[in-house]
A and B are shown apart, each in its own frame.
Chain A
């Protein structure tokens, strides 16, 4: 029963991932923590393995639709590990709660920007 629930969340995560260009970890991690009794750390690591095929399939499909700037994606991907290193080191220096609240605030600011852009009339420059 728990396996079925985890698999359903997996499908939903892949769908959100393909639709919005994210890995799907936003649903994989809770699926693994809640239904498969993984610790947070193991769930995040395991989720990464599930993300790899999702991202490969999404890139393959999106290449067909002409929606991938391959070089740009590779530059972003190649530079990310440096950021991860900075992030991991920093996270051990600052309170986790402060970080959560800072990112939550940033996410809300970015969400507002996206909504403003989306509601702007189409003839204006984007």
Chain B
């Protein structure tokens, strides 16, 4: 990927945040699918650090976005609990599992996730 001529790490973080937001706004894909690879490729983060830091950003992004959506009456709390409560258990399992696999394998899994997202977008 051609590296834009931005050298300050803070400016790069700002660019990553904006890019993640743009794709969320454009397509409804999560910011994480943009943030994690950019942290790895552009800022040289290790895969584990990239995923942990991405989650920190997602706490802020999702909290702001769900508040706005709630004003439009689009949020269904019982259904959110239906997927969200099992998901909390999944998040414990996923983060624990992540510590037991190599950073290389995490990157490869992420690449597979991106291919899956690409297929989902291409297939009408």
Q: Which residues of A approach B to under 8 Å, CB–CB?
A: 3, 6-26, 28-29, 31-32, 36, 38, 40-42, 44-59, 61-63, 65, 67-70, 72-91, 97, 99-101, 103-105, 107-115, 117-119, 126
Size category of the binding interface on chain B: 35 or more
Q: How far is the CA of A40 from the CA of B120 in the complex (A)?
A: 14
Q: How far is the CA of A26 from the CA of B26 in the complex (A)?
A: 15
Q: A65 contacts B58, CB within 8 Å?
A: no
Q: B25 contacts A115, CB within 8 Å?
A: no
* Least Cβ–Cβ distance between B62 and chain A, in angstroms: 4
Chain B residue with minimal CB distance to A119? B104
Question: Out of B1, B84, B94, which one reaches A10, CB within 8 Å?
Answer: B84
Question: Out of B19, B32, B96, which one reaches A21, CB within 8 Å?
Answer: B32
Q: How far is the CA of A97 from the CA of B124 in the complex (A)?
A: 9
A76/B53 contact (C-beta < 8 A), A52-B62, A84-B21, A114-B37 known: yes
Q: How far is the CA of A125 from the CA of B57 in the complex (A)?
A: 27
* Least Cβ–Cβ distance between B43 and chain A, in angstroms: 8
Q: How far is the CA of A41 from the CA of B55 in the complex (A)?
A: 23
Main secondary structure of the interface of A (DSSP, over half): helix
Taking A20-B94, A67-B53 as known contacts, 16 extra A-B pairs with beta carbons closer than 8 A to each other, sorted by chain A number, are: A7-B86, A17-B55, A17-B90, A22-B58, A24-B91, A26-B29, A29-B28, A45-B72, A62-B48, A72-B53, A80-B20, A80-B24, A87-B23, A89-B25, A110-B111, A119-B104
Q: B52 contacts A62, CB within 8 Å?
A: yes
A59/B52 contact (C-beta < 8 A), A36-B82, A54-B88, A83-B17 known: yes
Q: A118 contacts B108, CB within 8 Å?
A: yes
Residue-wise interface mask of B (29-56) relative to A, using a CB-CB cutoff of 8 A (1 in contact, 0 not): 1111101110111001100111111111
Sample of 14 A–B contacts (CB below 8 Å)? A14-B88, A15-B97, A21-B32, A22-B36, A23-B32, A46-B79, A53-B87, A58-B91, A62-B95, A67-B49, A75-B14, A84-B25, A90-B25, A107-B121
B5 within 8 A of A: no
* Least Cβ–Cβ distance between B55 and chain A, in angstroms: 4
Chain B residue with minimal CB distance to A32? B79
Question: Out of B26, B75, B89, which one reaches A103, CB within 8 Å?
Answer: B26
Q: B56 contacts A17, CB within 8 Å?
A: no
Q: How far is the CA of A72 from the CA of B22 in the complex (A)?
A: 18
